[in-house]
Amino acid sequence: MVENDECKGEAKEEAKAKVTPWEVRGVVDYDELVVRFGTTRLEGATKRRLVELAGEDHWMLRRDIFYSHRDLDTILDRQSKGKPWALYTGRGPSGHTHLGHVTPWMFNKWLQDRFRVPMFFQLTDDEKFVFNPELTLEKTHEYALENALDFLALGFDPKLTKVVIDTDLIRTMYPIALRAAKRITFSTARAVFGFTNENNIGQLFYTSMQSVPAFLPSALAGEEVPTLIPAAIDQDAHFRITRDVAPHLGYPKPALLHCKLLPSLLGGDKMSASDPESSIYTTDKPKVVRKKLMNAFTGGRVSVEEQRRLGANPDICPVFWYEHYLFETDDAKLADIERRCRSGELLCGEHKLALYAKVEKWLEHHQSERERIRAHLDDFMMKD
């Protein structure tokens, strides 16, 4: 059975922010998560090596948006020796894609560009079906296809990128999922995910499906091809299990790169899929985007007069965070926005309009790309 190295000490941290693959609640203390999950901060020599091997820096590294990892050095070692490795990331298709999902995907795209490695993109229509009482399998499959367009619209290389939809690729996936499942006890799954007697058994089994793409590159090649999984840190729970079972199945443990979650436009934490006002969807029309941004929470003052006098607070401001995570990649320009915000020179209404212009420009391009890709979607699908 699984030794459970990385699954120790779960489910006893009720008072802290809740960060599970299904729910992120409370104010997330990302430093504390590193300790609680037992990951390693992305810093120092490892971070420098990543940048060196990539041949350039990335704003999500400089700004600690990707800020934690497991075993990244094993991948960097392989990269320096010219040995193969692959990228794996994914999405649970419970609805349309929003900018919170796009954040780690952009970084994945950069990694593929820099290292020219295969990418496996998993769409877990099975997961969202068993976890969401409202969703039918037809619907989650439909969202899977729509979400795939958003991923591919970012420009992943058609020669190196495969999309895996769980229910479509099940013949290939099931034998590997079963081998993983046989190594995961109920006790481990319950400790890691907090399952109770009320959970359905599809939910219990699901984590074994999320392990599969971590092993697929090795299974397909018939040799060790470890994966690097860049994902939001809330997914770490699944991959602690994946890493525990890997050696028992004869596969290398996947390495992980963790990012922070794009905050809600309404203030607080992760964008909530249940509140469309909290985030911008890739399918939103300009009018809707504008309205969402104009209604966003800010770190501003109650009056213009007060803001001019006292300045605003970007530390708690989603409008500023959108710049920081996605829309102002130039550090000097970001610093200038911050300075003007703190000094009261930049008013929130003005800033919202400036951000809207950037978001709209990005969305226009993205929306045309996702329609262009539609005709080629089938070429990216991995088939049994």
Least separation in angstroms between residue 270's CB and ligand TRP is: 11
End-to-end CA distance of the chain: 29
Residues 34-93 that bind ligand TRP (CB under 6 A): 89-92
What backbone torsions phi and psi does residue 198 show, to the nearest 5 degrees?
Answer: -85, -15
Alpha carbons 196 and 379: distance in angstroms, whole number: 41
> Closest by alpha carbon to 42, among 226, 210, 233?
233
Confirm or reject binding of residue 237 to ligand TRP (CB under 6 A): no
Q: Please, which residue, 209 or 326, has the CB nearer to ligand TRP?
A: 209
Task: Name the pairing type of β-strands 161-165 and 66-70.
Answer: unpaired
Alpha carbons 201 and 253: distance in angstroms, whole number: 26
Compute and round to an integer the Cα radius of gyration of the chain. Answer: 21
Q: Please, which residue, 228 or 319, has the CB nearer to ligand TRP?
A: 228
Alpha carbons 129 and 68: distance in angstroms, whole number: 30
Least separation in angstroms between residue 330's CB and ligand TRP is: 28
Q: Please, which residue, 98 or 352, has the CB nearer to ligand TRP?
A: 98
Q: Please, which residue, 76 or 229, has the CB nearer to ligand TRP?
A: 229
Confirm or reject binding of residue 106 to ligand TRP (CB under 6 A): no
Q: Which range of residues in 8-16, 58-66, 122-130, 363-371 is near ligand TRP by CB under 6 A?
A: 122-130
> Closest by alpha carbon to 66, among 269, 262, 219?
262
Least separation in angstroms between residue 9's CB and ligand TRP is: 22
Residues 252-271 that bind ligand TRP (CB under 6 A): none
Alpha carbons 145 and 267: distance in angstroms, whole number: 30
The tokens for 213 are 């793409």
Least separation in angstroms between residue 213's CB and ligand TRP is: 7
Confirm or reject binding of residue 127 to ligand TRP (CB under 6 A): yes
6: left (phi > 0), else alpha (psi -120 to 50), else beta? alpha
Q: Please, which residue, 201 or 304, has the CB nearer to ligand TRP?
A: 201
Q: Which range of residues in 133-141, 154-162, 229-237, 358-366 is near ligand TRP by CB under 6 A?
A: 229-237
**Burial (0-12, 13-18, 19+ Cβ within 10 Å), 188:** buried
Confirm or reject binding of residue 272 to ligand TRP (CB under 6 A): no
Residue 48 contacts by C-beta under 8 Å, 6 or more apart in sequence? Answer: none
Q: Are 235 and 242 in contact (CB under 8 A)?
A: no
Q: Which range of residues in 169-177, 181-189, 228-236, 339-347 is near ligand TRP by CB under 6 A?
A: 228-236
Q: Tell me, by CB under 6 A, how many residues bind ligand TRP.
A: 12
Least separation in angstroms between residue 180's CB and ligand TRP is: 13
Q: Please, which residue, 89 or 218, has the CB nearer to ligand TRP?
A: 89
Q: Are 66 and 259 in contact (CB under 8 A)?
A: yes
- Per-position x/- string for 6-25, each x denoting binding to ligand TRP as judged by CB under 6 A, each - no binding: ---------------x----
Q: Please, which residue, 162 or 301, has the CB nearer to ligand TRP?
A: 162
Alpha carbons 16 and 167: distance in angstroms, whole number: 35
Confirm or reject binding of residue 210 to ligand TRP (CB under 6 A): yes
> Closest by alpha carbon to 108, among 146, 149, 58, 52?
58
Residues 83-102 that bind ligand TRP (CB under 6 A): 89-92
Contact residues for ligand TRP, defined by CB under 6 A? 21, 89-92, 122, 124, 127, 210, 229, 231, 235
